[in-house]
Amino acid sequence: MISYHAVNRRGFALIEVLVAVLFIGVFMLALLQVRNQALYQFLQSGDQHTGAWLAEMKMAEIVSEDLPDPADEDTWFLEDSGDFAEFDERNNEINAEVNEDWGNRTHFADFEWSYTKELIFVGPDFIGNKEDLDNWEQPLDDNGDPTEEGDPREQPAARLIRVTLTITLPPPKVGTRDENGDLVTGERKTIKVVTYVDPAVVFDAQPDEEAATEATPEG
């Protein structure tokens, strides 16, 4: 005959096991989340390092060509975008020459770039591009009366070329699951770089082709 105390003890042992299993499950889930977060931060730090390197090279490229010309209003705002897929092509080409087992890989194509080049006007009370200048309106004070600020369109202003480059990093490689079980990743991070160029230095430094031709000695 099984005593009451033995049955009661077995009941307590079963509850203790279930509690222990539940605790281990929660603990393992927490560890998994910590691991995913650490992996995400590691991957993001690597992408940010690569993105900064690409931004430095791309900025050096775009400031050396096709800048807005103060004498040509059609060039006062320029923009373009793309990715770095050509780096993958070059990388695969080089490695395929030394490793016949090398397969085409894509990594740099996930990094995207976009830039704007603007001729901006800098005055005593104004800084902006051609669109800002055209849309300028007289500021009002707290009483709704026009201020004494001068119209920047009638004032002398310095001109600068503003180059803005944005590098968009690859989508996060890890994420979380929503209530439907679908993978949800965070927003793509970006690196933004802005530099200014004096158009007088750029265009005054370029030799006049016609004058250079006339000055070329014959013989």
What phi and psi values does residue 70 have, to the nearest 5 degrees? Answer: -55, -25
Q: What average pLDDT score do residues 127-137 get?
A: 84
Please tell me the least confidently modeled range out of 16-30, 61-75, 118-132. 16-30
- Domain membership of residue 64 as a residue range: 4-215
Please give the tally of structural domains in the chain. 1
Write b or e for each residue in 150-175: b if 16 or more Cβ atoms lie within 10 A of its Cβ, otherwise e.
eebeeeebeebbbbebbbbbbebebe
Q: What is the pLDDT of residue 59?
A: 94
* Beta bridge pairs of residue 140: 146
What's residue 126's pLDDT?
83
Give the pLDDT confidence score for residue 82 in this predicted structure: 96
**pLDDT recorded at residue 179:** 67
